[in-house]
Amino acid sequence: MKDSGPNPYFPKPDQYCNIDRLISILDNAVRTYTEEQLETLVTPLVTLLRKVFEFAPSHVKPHMQTALLPSNSERSQPLGQSNTLASRLLRLSNSPVAPSLRESVSSLLFELSDKDATSFVRNVGYGFASGFLMTHDLPVPANATEGWSTGQNGGDLGEKLTSVDGKEINP
């Protein structure tokens, strides 16, 4: 899809309305159902979000990334420990009882990280990223074996993050 012209998936009055609705449905579902139920109920929704992200206009993608990836405020503790949607998705990415959902969520998080292993590890921590990277024969970023990394894509944004759990290191 192109970024120009009318688009029924991203209508002009509120180009985020459909994305926000899908994310709200996902958030409510992962709060309500067990992992076993989510395997069949939510996997198609996560796949739909992956497809929407793939074809989303360039200005919509950051909105999805902000809504679904862990935020900087979550990094005061190890990632996956809070009750946000991003943390619940991280926990589902390691679910032993929902293999299809685990794969779909991990793929979504990787795609939200621009299909870049370094960004993926920075966004979710090596602990959550490692299984996906190994399973898909993707190279492990060099900084994943270091004790920490700085900023997004190695750039210095002022924060230092542990590569294993994505937690911010306080100076």
The two three-digit tokens of residue 161, written as one number: 């993050």
Is 70 exceeded by the pLDDT of residue 105? yes
Which of 24, 55, 58 has its CA nearest to residue 42? 24
* pTM of the shown model: 0.83
d(CA 52, CA 58): 12
What's the whole-number average pLDDT of the chain?
Answer: 85
Query: Of 43, 65, 38, 45, which Cα lies nearest the Cα of 53?
Result: 65
In the predicted structure, residue 73 carries a pLDDT above the cut 70: yes
CB 30 within 8 A of CB 126: no
